[in-house]
Each structure stands twice: as C-alpha cells, then as structure tokens.
Amino acid sequence: MKYRFKSEVKALDFWKLSMYKTYHAIAGVCNIVFTAAMFGLLFHFWDSGKDIWIGLILFGCVLFPVIQPLCIYLRCVRQVEDIPKDLELEFDEVGIRVFAGGTEEKIPWKKVNHVVKQRDMLAVYTDRNHGYILMERTLKEQWEEFLEYLRAQIKN
C-alpha cells in the first residue's frame, strides 16, 4: 500500500505540538508549579511589597502562561519558513520517501521511532526531536486508515 501527501504545516501546528510536548513532560509540571507559586507570592506581598518586587513577581506570573508560548510561536514561524513549499511525503512498505526541491530522501521504517496522534495531527518521529507532521485536513477521510498503517509498519 502506498500513501502520498503534500505537507501543509502552519506555524500554529508546530506551536500546538511544541506545547503538547512541553506540558506532557516534567518541564510542564515545573512551569505550572512555578506559576502557581508566583501567584501565591503576588497575593501575599501585594499590599506590603516594594514596587520592584511586585514587578518581578508579576513577570514571574506571566512568564510561562504568556511569554513562553509567545516565544515558542515566534520560533515556530521561523521553522515554517525553512520548510520547502513543495514538500511531499510518500509512505510505502519500504519506508518514507521525502520529496522536496527536486531531491528525494529515503527513510526506512526501522529509523522511525514512534507516532504521536493528537486531535488534528500525526507526528511521525525519525528520532527524539525530528520528524514530520501530517494534519488531519491533509489526510481527510484516510486519517484512521493511515494511522493504523503507520502503527503496523512501525511494529514490524
């Protein structure tokens, strides 16, 4: 069986995957605990603290829920700019073939580590930090069928 898809990844798609990875790891737990502690300090010192300390605590309150996601989104915008516009992925019994800019790369199934399924995307990882994202809007009605195909290929 053979599947071929054109990559249509947007910065928001990368951002969702990055946030998913962050908040499903120990770093996400630390972010939540830190932010909760900052809000606790803010309420405790609001009336008696000096302006500089209140300002630093306010910065701590918005660091992980606002500033970090914004910085991650800006990084994702730069990542999307680096992706060739004509990127196509072909999946067959041998592995993954990546077509971009008139070149072709072959990735055997034994180099594919795992697949992460989110609500609207599949991330096919070739190592711990690198892989390919396929959106549900690209896969359309082949979503479930393709996911089962990927899982079967990775098990073998």
pLDDT at 68 over 70: yes
Average pLDDT of the chain is 92
Question: What is the rounded CA–CA span in Å between residue 42 and residue 48?
Answer: 10
Confidence grade of residue 116 (pLDDT, cut at 50, 70, 90): confident
Mean pLDDT (whole number) for 136-141: 89
* Domain spans in the chain, listed from the N-terminal domain onward: 3-8+84-155, 12-82
Mean pLDDT (whole number) for 118-135: 89
Higher pLDDT residue, 140 or 88?
88
Q: Is 134 helix (H, G, I), strand (E, B) or coil?
A: strand
Tokens of 40: 């606790």
pLDDT at 132 over 70: yes
CATH of range 3-8+84-155; options 3.40.250.10, 3.40.50.300, 2.30.29.30, 1.10.530.10: 2.30.29.30
Question: What is the rounded CA–CA span in Å between residue 106 and residue 122?
Answer: 19
Question: What is the rounded CA–CA span in Å between residue 78 and residue 98?
Answer: 21
pLDDT at 156 over 70: no
